[in-house]
Structure 1
């Protein structure tokens, strides 16, 4: 390790030879290794002016961002490379660290394991432990039955709370009453024969923040959070998908109080009448059986949340009392919520004086994912300006407003057209009454 006097000599050499790329890169790497993160960031920026597409320098800058907690900036620097096949594995590990910092455990795990698979030497024991990503056992040969295996579900504490969710007060209140209060005030609810547990189905247009809400509910409660994707359940071997579901629920019961979250649940809970394969119907049957539990106390303390963009495709049996008996519509953010989301997205970035309300007015029908995409694009443009200028160039209201002219809402209008058909022509049960005011308001 170079001591401070050696670093000072390198700093002076870089000052005298500002166009010496190997010298600047060497200095930046040493500063990063010794924890001088802000100074390392500056040296990497200066080096990128000399070599704008250098993957090693970009990776160093992204690592400096990530270690300072600027996870969005790290991902913005890495994304042009991550979109290309064969990107350096080190970038995948840095991206995993940034994604984990943003709370996206599933994508973080994917990036980390994909990188380590290509280059085992890139493994980071501390990061792997934080990810706690499960690894499936190899399937058995096809000439014999598959052996059941124990797959440990990753139950993590969520650092996100309702304070990190902009707007949606009605949705938060519904989750408090259904999921949080029975656990926080068990004596009061026990007096009325109510126990902690049960299920809520969140539905709405894509990108509206359903997954974020589920993490926030777990963080608000201080409970373990288990996020379940299709790959965690579905298996090519007959009977294995049902065993996977059973193992997931068993792990959640052992971790109670626990929020068990199923994303894109319509793929696991589709209407059985629409299914042509018998084993697909068995997965739905197993899901229903796990929601019921072996007795009326089996799922006590397990709060089951599910999210879908297409609730009308879910088997009606899931809406029976005791299962997903409460449907909660997660609407696109209104004007005030969009402004609040923009404030959250921009809070760790260099800013000029911002008029978030003006940007919110220009982003009607945007969901949270659209707003994040808008800010990310603006940040990418500012990073290019900053690299050329050799200093951070702050983000302005004008930057965001300019991008709204070319970026359109990704999903709300299409989703609304589909939802209107169900509300107007397939709502005999009244299941979609909650959508009526919103649809009428949008006309």
Structure 2
């Protein structure tokens, strides 16, 4: 496969704008896990052909493989709206719904895709959806919405009187948020991150625990905090643990749960989410991949996307409602894509850099992960030394690789074989830290777009600024 990639690279040097060649190269990069190169190739195709459904689908696949399910879902839905005959987009959306545990919606999407192109039948998806019936089709006289080829969301006009006849876009159960709860997880269940935990205590927990002192100074309790860092370092986990520390309700959602194709309903959904958090205060409202929602408005050509962002800002400001006791946490792998308006005072004015764990942190994470595995002799420190730059997700991958190595013997003998330090160190040698690519991008922004000092923590982590 490496030889094929080299041959494709050489061919692209002679024909850099050849769309079929770029698509072949991008697909080969995906097979090899080279996400950045795949993404660049798909973007190159779209630069010359913005409506190319295969390239847009490729970007959605990249997002899904990177764990950005919200972004992947939005991209797939955009393709379906623009090109309803794109069967592969329905199958990708089915995979996304399976990942999120919504097998009923996955069945609906899969059936639509197969109806368009039976040759795309996927035994893996069919196995996951065995016995699942699709949800009842919604019947309404409203017109469909659309996504533009540039990726902006454009909503269509709905029929009159739909508030009564079509009760959409408001109820928590419609958004999949009805079952939120106070997490049992707290900081003791999160390995490492000691410096970050203390920073969270100072910026989040203590103010919420001593609300009366803040009120004495006429200062609201809550507000917004932005967590940024490489993928897989535990931004979602530490957010949930923060809610557990203060015994607050934790409401987590992604952009695709907010978006609705009918005019005004996306903004209504946003309002309902904030109302749900206000009615259940103290609460933490967690937006994963917030950069997809807080995109720079200068990049949005259609008014619908701008209107949703403006609605989000108005809800954060508490212009018409009281946000006291509501903490808004946003997590992002790409803070450089966030509109500066989101970082002004009163919004995401507090930022927390979530770095990969240090050696002591990795050892602590390894100990936590080992508690749910059959483990023999284990030296967490020895493994931590061999996993420099690994995120929590990388360490989980190490355990998964080591498990796969012993499974053949386990299946043959029918006996549980404990993992040991040697097995895990061998597995670590087969896995590369996924945080390195992120720091390559972040370093450029930190070095050349850091007038406000926003990326100082990145520079300190890289040893380019004194602490």
TM-score w.r.t. the length of structure 1 is 0.68
Unaligned runs of 5+ in 1: 1-104, 124-133
Are 2:406 and 1:391 aligned? no
Please state how far the C-alpha of 1:193 moved relative to its aligned partner: 2.9
Match of 1:35 in 2: none
Distance verdict in 2 for CA 1:169–1:401, change over 3 Å: same
> Does 2:424 correspond to 1:404?
no
Shift in CA distance, 139/243, structure 1 to aligned 2, threshold 3 Å: farther
Aligned partners of 1:182 and 1:194 also within 8 Å: no
Larger radius of gyration: 1
Residues 315/141 of structure 1: CA separation in 2 closer, same or farther (3 Å cut): same
Match of 2:383, SS? helix
Q: Secondary structure at the match of 1:288?
A: helix
Q: 1:323 to 1:138 in 2, by over 3 A?
A: farther
1:109 alignment partner, SS class: coil
Shift in CA distance, 117/408, structure 1 to aligned 2, threshold 3 Å: closer
For the aligned residue pairs, the C-alpha RMSD in angstroms reads 2.8
Tell me the alpha carbon deviations over residues 53-94 of structure 1, each in whole angstroms, 9 at most, x when there is no partner: xxxxxxxxxxxxxxxxxxxxxxxxxxxxxxxxxxxxxxxxxx
Do the aligned partners of 2:313 and 2:342 also contact (CA within 8 Å) in 1? yes
**Contact 1:272/1:315 (<8 A) preserved:** yes
Q: Which runs of 5+ in 2 are unaligned?
A: 1-96, 108-127, 144-157
1:180 Cα deviation (Å)?
1.8
Shift of 1:117: 7.0
Written as runs of structure 1 = structure 2, the 5 A alignment for 1:300-311 is: 300-311=324-335
Shift of 1:114: 4.7
Note closer, same or farther for the CA distance 1:263–1:139 as it changes in structure 2 (3 Å cut): farther
Aligned to 1:432: 455
Q: 1:320 aligns with which of 336, 340, 344?
A: 344
Q: How far 1:112 moved relative to its partner?
A: 7.6
Instruction: Note closer, same or farther for the CA distance 1:441–1:347 as it changes in structure 2 (3 Å cut).
Output: farther
Of 209, 230, 234, 1:209 maps to 234
- Answer whether contact 1:135 1:151 (CA < 8 A) is retained: no
2:194 matches 1:180: no
Q: Deviations over 1:278-329 (max 9, x none)?
A: 211111101100001135x711111110100011110111111111101100
* 1:236 to partner: Cα distance: 2.2
The reply to whether residue 416 of structure 1 matches residue 439 of structure 2 is yes
Paired with 1:110 and 1:172, the residues of 2 have a C-alpha distance of 33
Contact 2:103/2:129 (8 A) holds in 1: no
Question: 1:194-246 CA distances to partner (integer Å, 9 max, x unpaired)?
Answer: 33211100000011100001110111111111001122111222322111111
1:256 aligns with 2:281: yes
Mapped partners of 1:346, 1:253: distance in 2: 38
Cα offset for 1:274? 1.4
1:372 aligns with 2:373: no
Q: 1:119 aligns with which of 118, 131, 138?
A: 131
Conservation of the 8 A alpha-carbon contact between 2:222 and 2:324: yes
The answer to whether the Cα contact below 8 Å between 1:225 and 1:258 also exists between their aligned partners in 2 is yes
Secondary structure of 2:461's partner?
Answer: helix
Residue of structure 2 aligned with 1:227, choices 223, 246, 252: 252
Distance (Å, rounded) in 1 between the aligned partners of 2:329 and 2:290: 10
Q: What is aligned with 1:110?
A: 102
SS in structure 2 opposite 1:358? helix
Give the 3-state SS of the residue equivalent to 1:157 in structure 2. coil
Distance 2:290 2:318 in 1: 19
* Shift in alpha-carbon separation, 1:182–1:139, aligned structure 2, 3 A: farther
- Whole-Å separation in 2 of the counterparts to 1:159 and 1:319: 30
Cα–Cα, structure 1 residues 338 and 332, in superposed 2: closer, same or farther, change >3 Å?
A: same
Question: In the TM superposition, what whole-angstrom CA distance separates every residue of 1:354-398 from its partner, at most 9, and x where no partner exists?
Answer: 111111111111111111111122123333322222221110111
| SS in structure 1 at match of 2:463 | helix
- Corresponding residue SS for 1:305: strand
In structure 1, the partner of 2:149 is none
Provide Cα deviations, 1:163-200, integer angstroms capped at 9, x if missing partner.
11122222212222222222222223323333321110
CA distance in 2, matches of 1:423, 1:135: 50
Q: Could you tell me how far 1:113 is from its partner in structure 2? A: 6.6
Structure 1, 359-368 or 179-188: larger mean CA deviation:
179-188
- What is the TM-score normalised by the length of structure 2? 0.65
Q: Which whole-Å CA distance do the structure 2 matches of 1:175 and 1:256 have between them?
A: 19
Paired with 1:135 and 1:181, the residues of 2 have a C-alpha distance of: 47
In structure 2, C-alpha distance between the alignment counterparts of 1:139 and 1:386, rounded to whole Å:
54
* Distance of 2:461 and 2:217 partners within structure 1: 34
CA distance in 2, matches of 1:120, 1:279: 34
Q: Deviations over 1:111-140 (max 9, x none)?
A: 58758975259x9xxxxxxxxxx9997776
In the TM superposition, residue 160 of structure 1 has moved relative to its aligned partner by 1.0
Matches of residues 285-364 of structure 1 in structure 2 within 5 Å?
285-294=310-319, 298-364=322-388
Structure-2 separation of matches of 1:199 and 1:235: 25
Conservation of the 8 A alpha-carbon contact between 1:179 and 1:196: no
